[in-house]
Chains A and B, each alone.
Chain A
Amino acid sequence: MDPIVPKDMLLPLPAPVWLLVALLLVSFAVHILFVNLMVGSSLLVMWTEIKGLKKKDWDKVSHQIAETITVNKSLAVVFGVAPLLTISVLYTAQFYSSSTLLGHSWLMVIPLVILAFLFTYAHKYSWNHLQHSKGVHLTLVGIACALFLSIPFIFLSNINLMLYPEHWARVHSFWDALWLPNVLPRYIHFLMAALALTGLFFVYYFGRKPEKQDFGSLKSSEVVRVFYGVALAATGAQILFGLLVFFTLPSHVISLRFLAILCLVLTLVPFALWWLWREVRADQPGARFWPIVLLLGGVVALMIWARHEVRENAVSPHRALVAAKTSEYRTRMTETQDYILMPGGLGGTPASPGSLVFTRRCASCHSFDRRLVGPALNEAIASYRGNPQGLMTWIVKPGRKRPDYPAMPAQEMPRDELQQLVEFVLQTTG
């Protein structure tokens, strides 16, 4: 199907494209880092709190996780603004089209995130009060998790839909956009990344000062090993889900460079998996932490680059169409600048100044011979013949004579215009 080709804004980009692309990729990396931590920790806080029902010490771990979420979620939001602005500028035609196609669903992100945050705060600050009503307390975090799990669907539908203008004509709602191929695989891919990253984050967090951590009989090295396990399982699963994303991509977005990046990623990941596995089995885990972070950090950077490749491959033909259409429109628009916006356009006999004022100010509501909004003037003005002053007074500050008509609004205009107008009206009805 032919893509829909809208026009771009008629103003130049505020910066060179390379700079905007760099800002987009860097700011998005920071944003998604905190989003991952926010979503991943919400899931892990629930998991560890449930673990804590059987083994009390995990509840303490869970409480510490809860302390971090509210900070990470604040950063996730603020760091989201820059990529949002930059993508709006760089991909205006595509991103605004897909956002508006989603309509209300896209706007729902805001109230849903506010709700998720309020439940997260409620969960964090009620930890001690609800110590003996764990059911209620777990419900709070359950609702927060459910919200955090649904919001990415909206983001992914939009960010996926903007890539495929050929589908726009048949997408009428969020659901249509959600069922396009690739959205669900990307969703799982995102969740696994969130868990892997959060696992690593808590390896760091609980491994920092082992002597200061106090989880009763639970040793901090054991906690660290569990989070290494989370990271290992999630990273391993990524190979599978990554391939699923790859095979649901439409063929026209796959380029050689994209394949090369993916191959590089696939050679790096096994090293990370091997080190993670060694850490899970180690008595004193932690020695390989920074190499793992460095390696997986590299993988994340490559994946962000690959993601950009896909977007560029998908969008560039459409971008060229948009640019051509916009420039043609601009040319034709400038050519028409001298066309005058007036009833009838150019030509005809020159109108009297009074009749111009009439057209501009009165013709919307008054005709001479029939009722429009206000009464027909031939009849209504009869009483003003020979009394231009009276008519002027009425126009400037009208009263209300006819109960079955709407009240006339007061008309403010310069004195000379008013005189020309009244002269014209009285002449015409006279």
Chain B
Amino acid sequence: MMPLLTLMEWWSHRTGREDWDRLLYKILAVAFIVTTSLGALTGVGIWFSTSVVNPAAIGSLLRVFYWAWFSEWIVFVCEVVLIVIYFLTWKKMTGPRKTAHIRIGITLSVMSWLTMAIITAVLGFMMNPGAWPQQQDLLAGFNNPAYVPQLLFRTAAAMAMAGSLALALGAFFTSPRTALRKESVRTFAGWTLFWIVPMTIWSLVYYQAIPAEMAVNLPVAFGTQAWANQYDLLIKLTLAVGLIGVGLNLWALIKPARTWAFVWIVPFLCICLLVSQFERTRQFIRKPYVLAYYMYSNGARVQEAPYLAKTGLLANSAWAANRTITADNRVQAGRDVFLLACSRCHTLNGSNSITRNLSRLYPGQTWKPEAIDSYVRSIHGARPYMPPFPGTAAERAALAAYLAKLQTTSDQIPSNASISRN
């Protein structure tokens, strides 16, 4: 957003267009309030949610990337300070001081991009750590194979998204059939189209950088289990959404005045849809890992799996209520195993519900503990996105007993279930 606004500010200053300057200020005001409340807080919110949802994963990542995040934080502080100054001085720094104001905008743009450049390294690392497992240092983690394509893709996507948002806001803040409306629609659509080209190219390069064993996950990653078999259809739908966005932008170039203002919000919705679909796929595709090749999505490290399979999850957990399994506590111990091994991803009845999955596996039948047990035993073979069961055979049987019981009884998982992991 900031590069686009600064560029247009420079242009309107050079051509003396004060109506443009006022329009840009209104767009910036929206961006300012959204980024400093929702934006800043959801960014910080990640630290809260990850620490509750998967402390083992975020704790490990933090040990590797502490300095990356620390420098990102310094850039982030500069960014927030600069956006506050940029916005609050827009109307004060006029005339000869306008050039200085534009410079603030340029610095702010560079800072925003730097934040993304650092954070993308961490995201790339989670999917493919490159040489990190051998070298275990920050630089090896930073320089992962997916980094450059993802960064270039994200840069272009952010620019295109900013253009689409500016298109919608610009239409909202101008009166129909004015020259300003026409110009703003045309300019922002042109900007978006310009960036869609590199965005498409780099998304294809990025696609090539996905490790082959994770590409197997694509159908489920893209459309959830329910839609996995309609992968082709979903791809077509996604392409259609993209084409609607591009088509509307082209139309904006040719006939900028011939429509109602709210039509111009559609390209923004299209690109939001595409980007959130991309993020969903990126999050899912690295399964069965949460940190590729180092930690499974259930929080068990790859290197500790053999030890856990031998000695058990319960015996090694500081928090489990039942440390050993007896005939009396089987179901209760199975519940503890569920909390330890499954609850990072599965709920009982909510999202990714384990009971719904079981009903899908055994339609119209009684859930038999033995059948569930043998399913879980080689679950990682049948479903490549599932990690191997991280415990002993007795724990697996207890889990199966607990799960089978869920067909007839209901249970609830506490919101602090992740505690038990370490």
Contact = CB atoms under 8 A, between A and B. Distances in A.
A308 to B, nearest CB: 19
B415 interface: yes
Contacts of B73: 78, 81-82, 85
A337 interface: yes
A241 interface: no
A85 B361 contact: no
B80 interface: yes
Contacts of A100: 51-52, 55, 416, 418-419
A287 interface: no
Contact of A339 (B42, B309, B318): B309
B84 A365 contact: no
A93 B422 contact: yes
Nearest to B364: A404
Interface string B188-231: 00000000000000000000000000001000000000001100
A75 B311 CA distance: 49
Contacts of B88: 71
Contact of A110 (B44, B304, B319): B44
Contact of B319 (A6, A13, A89, A92): A6
A327 B221 CA distance: 37
B48 A88 contact: no
A336 B374 contact: no
Contact of A341 (B80, B306, B383): B306
B374 A363 contact: yes
Task: Say which size band chain A's interface belongs to.
Answer: 35 or more
Interface stretch (B16-24, B58-66, B177-185, B404-412): B58-66
B319 to A, nearest CB: 6
B378 interface: yes
A320 B301 CA distance: 23
B307 A89 contact: no
Given A15-B66, A77-B44, A361-B381, A9 B59 contact: yes
Residue of A81, A101, A107, A325 ringed by the most chain B CB atoms within 10 A: A81
B250 interface: no
B381 A77 contact: no
Nearest to A98: B419
A255 interface: no
A425 to B, nearest CB: 15
Contacts of A106: 48, 51-52
Interface stretch (B30-38, B94-102, B143-151, B271-279): B30-38
Contacts of B255: none
A11 B42 contact: no
Nearest to B368: A372
B40 A88 contact: no
B5 to A, nearest CB: 19
Given A77-B40, A100-B419, A114-B41, A11 B60 contact: yes
A360 B62 CA distance: 34
Nearest to B51: A99
B306 A84 contact: no
A114 B419 contact: no
Contacts of B316: 7, 329
A355 interface: no
Interface in A375-430: 404-407, 409, 412
Given A78-B80, A340-B306, A404-B363, A88 B422 contact: no
A77 B77 contact: no
Interface in A104-123: 104, 106-107, 109-110, 113-114, 117-118, 121
Contact of B377 (A110, A364, A405): A364
A310 interface: no
Given A329-B316, A359-B378, A359-B381, A79 B77 contact: yes
Nearest to B319: A4
Contacts of A367: 374
A360 B381 contact: yes
A41 to B, nearest CB: 16
A78 B64 contact: no
B377 A88 contact: no
Contacts of A107: 45, 48-49, 52
Contact of B62 (A82, A88, A345, A363): A88
Given A14-B67, A74-B40, A367-B374, A339 B310 contact: yes
Contacts of B36: 70, 74, 117
A306 interface: no
Given A74-B80, A339-B307, A341-B305, A110 B40 contact: no
Interface in A256-282: none
Given A75-B80, A405-B363, A14 B38 contact: no
Nearest to B388: A341
Interface in B357-376: 360-365, 371, 374-376
A406 B365 CA distance: 12
Contacts of A339: 306-307, 309-310
Interface in B81-110: 81, 84, 88
Contacts of A135: none
B37 A102 contact: no
A179 to B, nearest CB: 17
Contact of B374 (A11, A74, A84, A372): A372
A205 B123 CA distance: 43
A92 B63 CA distance: 10
12 contacts: A4-B318, A14-B138, A74-B36, A95-B51, A110-B42, A337-B303, A345-B310, A362-B382, A363-B374, A363-B382, A365-B375, A409-B383
Enumerate the 10 nearest inter-chain pairs by beta-carbon distance, A residue then B residue, closest first.
A103-B415, A364-B382, A103-B416, A360-B381, A14-B66, A110-B45, A11-B63, A96-B55, A6-B422, A100-B419
